Amino acid sequence: MKKLRVALIYNAYTDSKPDEKADTGSLHYLRQMIRGIARGLRRLRHEVVVMPLAGDLSVLQRKLNRLGPDIVFNQYDDVVHGALYEMRVAAFIRMLGYPMTGSPALGLGLSRYKYMSLSLLKGAGLPIPPSTTLIERLSDIDELKWSFPLIVHAAQEHAGIGLDRGSVVQTKKALKEKSREILRTYKQPALVQHFLKGREFNVGLIGGRTVRVLPLAEVDYSRLPRAIPPIMSYAAKWVETSVEYRRTEIICPARVDATLTALIGKTAVKAFRAVGGWGYGRVDVRLDESGQPIILEVNCNPCLDSGMGLARSAEQAGIEYPQLLQAIIKAAFEGPPYDMHLPIFNLGNSGRVRGR
Ligand SMILES: Nc1ncnc2c1ncn2[C@@H]1O[C@H](COP(=O)(O)OP(=O)(O)O)[C@@H](O)[C@H]1O
Ligand SMILES: [Mg+2]
């Protein structure tokens, strides 16, 4: 395997909120994950330079041009500036001419604009939750007919942000209250959907031209008190001290029969491709009342923490952490289709870029 010079970039910008130790979504844990990725890449004998990005893109540009990496390992995940920044940073890196791991800007944007990506999936004939509706004004709610239960999301968030015990609603009054909270607190539309009570799966995907479906993981809510809705809320994902976190388990590999496994895998790959995903992804799926898999969302560039999520599914397939990272790099060099490097923009890196 060729030794590469890898620039590992991540978002080190915070809005000065102090880190909560019990909150595994904090910068403290992000840094831990980045160190783990760097270690994994070094075990593959690659030269790794970690580049925290804390606001100034021109600094990143200078650093990259000085280093002249063979590839940028993109771990930029933005929880501060809003949904557009992940795609903007990815586009910036590609415009500088560097090959980059994971999904291109468009896929990253669609991962965050859930209503757009779900509309696209529906248009492609893929199953999405019934009654998926975007609420931009509270008065929209009165104009429509609703059947409950419904779940109310923040339309452009990820990582469980905005999802709590009040997110599953049974009445129009509660629907309005939760939508109002989202419009005001998160300053974005609310996404309302029929609440699917069936089994929930995370489908890990790796690869470029050929996508491999990893062993399914199931989210097991059976130990959760009945008063708490069975969803991967913010608390269930990140807050180690919460009941939600302690009573929600991930079973990997999931116990699912071969026919359903194949159907879930096929649906997930189609969804990943439809939104322009590349390299690695995780599709969240839930079964409806008749047992059919419905796509909740496609995560392009999902969390790469070792021992969790995608990495855990990869381990179940016999793929160790460094090999997972290597597969992601390999996919990046295969390159998303139509994403050729045309040096249209002269951003001051003449002759130094080793792009494709
Ligand atoms: N329509 C739905 N029906 C049932 N549960 C849902 C639905 N949409 C989301 N959920 C629950 O909420 C969780 C988070 O929603 P998701 O769309 O995956 O957003 P996030 O980006 O926050 O992970 C899911 O893992 C699932 O438990
Ligand atoms: Mg999700």
Q: Are both 206 and 328 inside the same structural domain?
A: yes
Domain boundary among 55, 84, 111: 111
The answer to whether 203 and 302 are in contact (CB under 8 A) is no
Domain shared by 151 and 231, yes or no: no
The verdict on whether omega for the bond into residue 230 sits within 30 degrees of 0, i.e. cis, is no
Task: Say whether both 27 and 54 belong to one domain.
Answer: yes
Instruction: Identify the pLDDT of residue 29.
Output: 83
- Among 47, 81, 111, identify where a domain stops: 111
Q: Which residue has the tokens 């096929």?
A: 266
User: pLDDT in tens for each of the 356 residues of the chain?
Assistant: 799 999 999 998 776 554 455 555 567 888 999 999 999 999 999 999 999 998 788 999 999 999 999 999 999 987 777 778 899 999 999 988 899 999 999 999 999 999 999 999 999 999 999 999 999 999 999 999 999 999 999 999 888 999 999 999 999 999 999 999 999 999 999 999 999 999 999 999 999 999 999 999 999 999 999 999 999 999 999 999 999 999 999 999 999 999 999 999 999 999 999 999 999 999 999 999 999 999 999 999 999 999 899 999 999 999 999 999 999 999 999 976 666 665 555 555 544 544 44
Tally the C-alpha atoms within 13 A of residue 346's C-alpha that lie toward its C-beta.
Answer: 2
Helix axes of 321-334 and 27-43: crossing angle, nearest 10 degrees:
80
Three-state SS for 205?
Answer: strand
- From 232, 245, 298, give the residue whose CB has the most ligand 1 atoms within 8 Å, as the site to mutate: 232
> Does ligand 1 have an atom closer than 6 angstroms to the CB of 297?
yes
Inter-residue long-range contacts of 234-239, CB under 8 Å, 24+ positions, other chains counted: 234/25, 234/159, 234/160, 234/161, 234/162, 234/163, 234/164, 235/160, 235/164, 236/160, 237/24, 237/25, 237/159, 237/160, 238/23, 238/24, 238/25, 238/159, 238/160, 239/22, 239/23, 239/24
| Same-domain check for residues 310 and 321 | yes
Ligand 1 pocket mutation, candidates 296, 297, 303, criterion most atoms within 8 A of CB: 296
User: What is the pLDDT, as a whole number, of residue 347?
Assistant: 56
Enclosing domain of residue 284:
196-334
DSSP state of 184: I
**Would you say the CB of residue 228 lies under 6 angstroms from ligand 1?**
no
Q: Is 296 in the pocket of ligand 1 (CB under 6 A)?
A: yes
Rounded CA separation 354/356 (Å): 7
Tokens of 188: 């974005």
How far apart CA 233 and CA 159 sit, in angstroms, is 8
| Count: domains in the chain | 3
| Domain containing residue 182: CATH number | 3.30.1490.20
d(CA 288, CA 149): 13
Cα(178)–Cα(170) distance, rounded to whole angstroms? 11
**Encoding tokens for residue 153?**
């999301």
Does residue 325 have its Cβ closer than 6 Å to ligand 1? no
Q: Same domain for 56 and 174? A: no
pLDDT at 342 (0 to 100)? 59
CA-based nearest residue to 219, from 235, 205, 237, 234: 237
Q: Which atom of ligand 1 is nearest to the CA of 284?
A: 18
Q: Is 235 in the pocket of ligand 1 (CB under 6 A)?
A: no
**Residue 264 near residue 216, CB atoms below 8 Å:** yes
Domain-located, residue 119: no
Q: What pLDDT was estimated at residue 355? A: 46
